[in-house]
Amino acid sequence: MEAGIKEMMRLLDEVGEGVYFTDKQRRITFWNKAAERISGYAKKEVLGRKCFENILIHVDGRGRSLCQGFCPLARTLKDSKARQTGIFLHHKHGHRVPVQVRVYPLHNEKRVLIGAAELFTDSSEKPDLWARMHKLEKLAMSDRLTGVANRHFTEQYLQARLEEFKRFHWSFGIIFFDIDDFKTLNDQHSHRVGDKALKTVAKTLQGNIRSIDQVGRWGGEEFIVIMRNSAKKTLQPLAEKLRLLVEKSIFWEKGTPVRVTISGGATLVQAGDTSATLVERADLLMYKSKKKGKNLISCS
């Protein structure tokens, strides 16, 4: 029996999905290799700790914390029912990762509830445009610090969408984001902390857009998201979702939690637009958000 359990644990450690077990107090008792890869947390960092103790810190699509009252695992421990949902977990490096979660009750041989098992899959692991490119081409088109598209590639991508709009009337939108109080962050901490903030924002944006959309670093603390086949009713909710996910992200510097927020301007392409007029309109909307108090989205 014991040998069979060890073999099962070995197999679970090799599966592609993140898997972890908890007892009835939500204390983590098993953590597989995929859970380490998806979350960034090593097994030794989480075993024996409760899952809501600043580890995964699940939030939903509206940025609402699930750990206190809405946690799917806690609900399964309460009613012994299996369930699944889509949520966002907190990566060790600070950014939010979209995951599909399945939770199952665990019983002993007498059918007494002893804990729960959670399986989670990274929803952002999708076919990547960069994977089809030569390594040197990728380096030429990527921002070296954050890994997202650099300004040159983003400008080319934006121009291609404008040509499509002129020829086929395929609508698209852009969202211009700027990290709030970035200079103050650098002055109060260090440029290393500023770099961490840039990486956190970039990974959060990149991991939570569709595969047909594009995120690029425009310059400094500015990012642009280009959303294809969009209308105002889809552009503004996406901008709000990304803003909330950045707000809920956190990274650590010498044991101190650091949070950042972003302000954004979202706009749809219009007849007669050039790259310059489109970006300028989104930029002005972003500054409107700054003037209204920051950590906001303005849309036209």
Could you list the active site residues?
Answer: 221
| CB distance 92 to 100 below 8 Å | no
Residue 75 β-bridge partners:
none
User: What number of H helices and E strands is found in the chain?
Assistant: 10, 12
Q: Cα(113)–Cα(79) distance, rounded to whole angstroms?
A: 10
Hunting for tokens 């597989």 — which residue is that?
A: 32
Q: Tell me how many degrees the CA angle 141-146-149 measures, rounded to the nearest 5.
A: 25
Residue 87 β-bridge partners:
99
Q: E strands within the chain?
A: 18-23, 28-31, 83-90, 96-107, 113-122, 172-179, 214-219, 222-228, 251-253, 256-258, 262-268, 297-299
Q: Cα(55)–Cα(168) distance, rounded to whole angstroms?
A: 47
CA 158 to chain centroid = 23
- Side chain identity at residue 153, one-letter code: F
| CB distance 19 to 118 below 8 Å | yes
Cβ-Cβ contacts under 8 Å for 225 (sequence gap 6 or more):
174, 175, 177, 205, 209, 213, 214, 215, 238, 239, 242
